Every structure is written in structure tokens, then in C-alpha cells.
Amino acid sequence: MSGIKRPGLAKDPGSESTPGMDPFADTLQRLREAFVSGRTRPAEFRAAQLKGLSRFLRENKQLLQEALAQDLHKAAFQSDVSELIICQNEVDLALRNLHTWMKDEPVAKNLITQLDSVFIRREPFGLVLILSPWNYPLNLSLVPLVGALAAGERTPPPSCPLPVLKPSEISKSTEKVLAEVLPRYLDQSCFAVVLGGPEETGQLLEHEFDYIFFTGTPHVGKTIMAAAAKHLTPVTLELGGKNPCYVDDDCNPQTVANRLAFFRYYNTGQTCTAPDYVLCSPEMQARLVPALQSAITRFYGDDPQSSPNLGRIISQKHFQRLRGLLSCGRVVIGGQSDESDLYIAPTVLVDVKETDPVMQEEIFGPILPIMNVRSLDQAIDFINRREKPLALYAFSNRSQVMNQMLDRTSSGNFVGNEGFTYMTLTSLPFGGVGKSGMGRHHGKFSFDTFSHHRACLLSYSGLEMLKNIRYPPYSDCRQKLFTWAVGSHRCTLL
Ligand code: NAD
């Protein structure tokens, strides 16, 4: 594996470039040649890479926890639960299932293909680019990487996609570990870490990739998609947006408040799937606000700034943006901020208007606005008038309310009476819909994302008599017979 460094940092020996020259060209060329050369790789090659990734996670646990603490003031609990363990689970699942996933998949046949071999082969996309954000900088780099290292069919050559990983330049400490330590655990010839911000990524995107997997803002997602379109490169876009949370009158306010506060303020609200705003009646709001205060005090104490369990805002830019949002509506909990510490207190806003800035953009910080609605219908109407969210939450004791919310709305993910626990499940696809993204990953879904599903039919060179039925000159009798034979009701699985 090779790492291309930013100007000013040590350069990868294989990517030496003179000023003004494209710093990525050599490395990408080298990887592409490795892919198309069809250099034989044993099926075990991918397993070896995944085991390397597993060792990287285990042997550098403390280093990674420290890097995440430096970047986001992340508590070790959160680093473990939402970064390290999730990556480890993905690696373990891929290792356990690699041979099954790689197998050709037989599919249903009709009568005219009964004697043929018909199957789906998962071919690896060649050179794949993974662009990740800063909020879960390890998880969102390595979970897609597991899929990329695992994907493809059983038989070489070539065996797996060759991933190029570009971590976020904003979470600097984690970026450094990914660039300097991870390479020691993977095969040098099949993978590269490249570093840089928007400018370097723009240069990188001038190159042709066979697949681009992007996680980040919808705004940058459009840039990525436009760059990919120049080469007709397929993309997965894992984006963000505003995730509504409906709280019905029929539920226990303290239970709801505990769960809401936990998931809203987790990672200091810098989570793409966090509940972004609450929709509830004025009566429920009156019960919810003291319950939220109680949950916040229980989790972070009377002075949340001194709590080891609350993180910090990633940068001055985001701090200033969030501080601006504190003037929307009326602060009923929190509202304090400290620029020198990039601290914003867990905050609840009420009397918020739909037109307020806090309701115009993804908050991505520890601020929870509450908007009032008079009924479930009004809440559903409010949600449906906006972009389809990445996640939609509803709290209610009534299954009828839950079903209505599920049936009459659309979102990447839907959760009743919980937060984003579903992220821990490799059995569920993770991805947005509409403006919150396209494509999906996690578990087998990642493997499929990085594989082209090639439709294959292998027929016999003999048995021409059986094929005669389709050749001209056509007749009514042949038409009826053929139509009957291709009829979908004749489909079988062999
Ligand atoms: P971002 O879009 O600013 O950056 C993401 C990546 O794109 C980074 O690697 C960055 O270097 C690169 N980039 C930034 N600007 C670029 C440009 N102009 N041209 C080319 N590349 C550019 O996102 P972020 O601020 O790092 O992350 C926060 C966003 O990501 C939020 O909107 C959040 O909801 C979203 N997110 C989504 C998911 C998901 O799985 N759906 C997960 C985490 C975060």
C-alpha cells in the first residue's frame, strides 16, 4: 500500500512528482496496472487483507482511541461502540462469509433455458475510490473498505477491487493513523491512502475510477456525482440531511427524553442519523422539556462542559455555524458555548419557526429544536413537504401511530421508539433515499455494492433441435409454444 502525502509532507516513493504535476497519477496508474494485469491472486488473498485489517484494529486500539479523542474529544466508550467494534464486526462477518458471498449465484430459469447454466457472478469493480467524512472517521473509512477488499468473484484473476481511500483532512489525528499505520497491515500493491482536502480531491476526481463511494454532505455529493458523470462512473452517495422525530402524546416522556438525549447528543450531535428536530404537540412539549433536562443532567452532570462523556465541535467553522443557530426560537435547556474549547452545551430550543435557519440546514451539533404540530396527520404532512430524510424516528405506545408513520412517509431508515441502534446490525442495509443519498452498504450489502452483478448464461453448443422453435419462418403454432415456454410462470430454481 502506498500513501500520497500532502505538499509539505513526506512523499510516497512510488508517487514522486514535480511541482505542478498531478501527484496522484503514478500511484493510480500503478494500481490500475496491477488490476488489469490479472496478476493471479489466491482466493485467500482477500482473507489475508481482511485479517490484516482486523490486526490493525486490535493492535492499535489505544492509538485509535487517542486519535479519536484528539479529533472529537470522543469518550473511549463511543470510540469502541461506534468505530472500533463496528469495523471489527464487519471484518469478522466478511471473513466468515467470504467464500459463500463469492460463489456464483444460481437463479430461476424458464423452460427454454432449463438445460443452461444461469447464474449471477459478482465481479469486482477495478479501481474504487472511498471518500470519507470526519464525524466517524474510522468507521466511515474502514467499513466501506471491508466491502471493497472482500468484493468480487471466487476465481482470479483479478480477485478484488483495488481501493483508494481518502480520509477526511479535518479529523487530522485519525487521518494520520490511517495514512501511516494502516499501510503496514495490508498488501502494498493493492491499496493506497491518499491525503488532501477539497482541492486535492478535485484533482483526484479528474482521474477515472471504476466506482466511487462517497460519504459526506449533499452539497459535496453533487460535486462528486458531477465528476463521476464525466467518466460514467457509478457512485454510492451516503449523505446527510434533517432527520425528523415525531413524539406522540401517548408515550412516556422520560423514556422518550432518555433515548432522544442519548442519540441527539451522542458524538456531540455530529451524527448523520441523529434525530435533528422533534415534532410534537404543545402538551407533549411541556412534559418533554423537563424530562430532557433530567436526562441531560443525568448523562453529563450539572456542568456538561466538564463531563468526560461529551465531545467537542470538530472545528471553528462548525462551532461558529452552530453558535449562530442558538439564536433561533427560545433556549429552554443549555445554550452556553465556549469558543476556546469548541464547546456547545446540549441545547433544546422551543418556539422555533419553520423558516428559522435551524430548520433550513442539517444541524450536526448538540442542538435540538422542538416544533409543534397538532396531529399525526400534520406531522406526516410536515415531513412529506421536505426532502426525504436519511432517518425518521417516531415514539408512540400505539402501533397504529407507528404504522401510519411508516406507511405514509419515506426515508433511508425508519425507527420506532429507539435511536440509531440499527447501525450496529450488519443485516440491515444502510443508505439514504432521494437527497439523503443513493446506494447502500454494511455487511453483505457492502460486498454487493463493490461488485458488478454480471448476468451469465452458459448454453450447450449442441441440442440445436431444441433451439429450432425460435427461428423463422414464424408460425402461430411456434409462437404459442415459445410464448408458453418463456412464460414467467414456468420459472424454476435449479
Ligand atoms: P464533506 O462533504 O465536507 O466532506 C466529505 C469528504 O469530501 C471529505 O473527504 C472531504 O475532504 C471531501 N470534500 C470536501 N469538500 C470537497 C469538494 N469541494 N470537492 C471534493 N471533495 C471534497 O462532509 P463532512 O463535513 O466531512 O461530513 C459531514 C456530512 O457527512 C454531514 O452532512 C453528514 O450528515 C454526512 N454523513 C453522512 C453519513 C452517511 O452514512 N449517510 C455518515 C456520516 C456523515
DSSP letters along 147-161, please?
HHHH-S-SSPSS-S-
φ, ψ at 490 (rounded to 5°): -90, 0
Question: Mean pLDDT throughout 296-305?
Answer: 98
pLDDT band for position 159 (cuts 50, 70, 90): low
272 is catalytic: yes
pLDDT band for position 33 (cuts 50, 70, 90): confident
Q: Is the CB of 390 under 6 A from ligand 1?
A: yes
Instruction: Tell me what pLDDT residue 41 has.
Output: 54
Name the catalytic one among 87, 190, 245, 272: 272
The DSSP line for 44-67 is HHHHHHHHHHHHHHHHTHHHHHHH
- Ligand 1, residues 136, 168, 212, 213: which to mutate, most atoms within 8 A of Cβ? 168
Q: Is the CB of 315 under 6 A from ligand 1?
A: no
Q: Is the CB of 201 under 6 A from ligand 1?
A: yes
Q: pLDDT (tens digit, 9 = 90+) per residue, 196-245? A: 999 999 999 999 999 999 999 999 999 999 999 999 999 999 999 999 99
CA of 131 to the centre of ligand 1 (A): 8
Cα 429 from Cα 412, distance rounded (Å): 9
Q: Is residue 493 over pLDDT 60?
A: no
Q: Is residue 153 over pLDDT 80?
A: no
CA of 343 to the centre of ligand 1 (A): 22
Cα 444 from Cα 95, distance rounded (Å): 11
CB 267 within 8 A of CB 136: yes
**Bigger pLDDT: 340 or 126?**
340
Instruction: Tell me what pLDDT residue 12 has.
Output: 44
Cα 157 from Cα 36, distance rounded (Å): 9
123 is catalytic: no
Q: Reduce the DSSP state of residue 486 to 3 states and report it.
A: helix
φ, ψ at 78 (rounded to 5°): -70, -40
pLDDT band for position 45 (cuts 50, 70, 90): confident
Instruction: Tell me what pLDDT residue 39 has.
Output: 52
Burial (0-12, 13-18, 19+ Cβ within 10 Å), 474: exposed
Instruction: Tell me what pLDDT residue 490 has.
Output: 55
pLDDT band for position 489 (cuts 50, 70, 90): low
CA of 219 to the centre of ligand 1 (A): 9
pLDDT band for position 491 (cuts 50, 70, 90): low
Q: Is the CB of 168 under 6 A from ligand 1?
A: yes
Question: Mean pLDDT throughout 268-285?
Answer: 98
Instruction: Tell me what pLDDT residue 27 has.
Output: 87
Instruction: Tell me what pLDDT residue 483 has.
Output: 87
Given its phi and psi angles, is residue 446 left (phi above 0), alpha (psi -120 to 50 degrees) or beta? alpha
- Ligand 1, residues 272, 313, 364, 413: which to mutate, most atoms within 8 A of Cβ? 272
Q: Is the CB of 217 under 6 A from ligand 1?
A: yes
CB atoms within 10 A of CB 17: 16
CA of 220 to the centre of ligand 1 (A): 7
Question: Mean pLDDT throughout 139-155?
Answer: 86
pLDDT band for position 6 (cuts 50, 70, 90): very low
Q: Is residue 341 over pLDDT 50?
A: yes
**Bigger pLDDT: 6 or 477?**
477
φ, ψ at 214 (rounded to 5°): -115, 135
CB 160 within 8 A of CB 35: no
Q: DSSP class of residue 270?
A: -
Q: Percent of the chain beyond pLDDT 90?
A: 78
Question: Mean pLDDT throughout 423-431?
Answer: 96
Instruction: Tell me what pLDDT residue 481 has.
Output: 87
Longest distance between any two alpha carbons in the chain, whole Å:
87
Contacts for 483 with CB less than 8 Å, ≥ 6 apart: none
Residue with CA at minimum distance from ligand 1 atom 15: 198
Q: In this predicted structure, which of 11-15, 310-314, 375-379 has the lowest mean pLDDT?
A: 11-15
Q: Is residue 35 over pLDDT 50?
A: yes
Residue with CA at minimum distance from ligand 1 atom 12: 198
The pTM score is 0.93
Question: What is each CA distance from 6 to 9, 15, 135, 474, in whole angstroms?
Answer: 6, 12, 21, 67
Question: Mean pLDDT throughout 451-456?
Answer: 95
Q: Is residue 409 over pLDDT 50?
A: yes
In whole numbers, what is the pLDDT of the chain averaged over residues? 91
Q: Is the CB of 223 under 6 A from ligand 1?
A: yes
Question: Mean pLDDT throughout 409-414?
Answer: 98
For residue 359, give the amino acid letter.
M
Q: Is residue 34 over pLDDT 60?
A: yes
Cα 74 from Cα 96, distance rounded (Å): 30
Question: Mean pLDDT throughout 449-462?
Answer: 94
Q: Is the CB of 220 under 6 A from ligand 1?
A: yes
Which ligand 1 atom minimizes the distance to the CA of 318?
Answer: 25
Cα 49 from Cα 56, distance rounded (Å): 10
Q: Is the CB of 392 under 6 A from ligand 1?
A: no
Q: Is the CB of 42 under 6 A from ligand 1?
A: no
Question: Mean pLDDT throughout 1-24?
Answer: 49
pLDDT band for position 11 (cuts 50, 70, 90): very low
Cell numbers found for residue 86: 463496528
Which ligand 1 atom minimizes the distance to the CA of 169?
Answer: 11
Contacts for 324 with CB less than 8 Å, ≥ 6 apart: 357
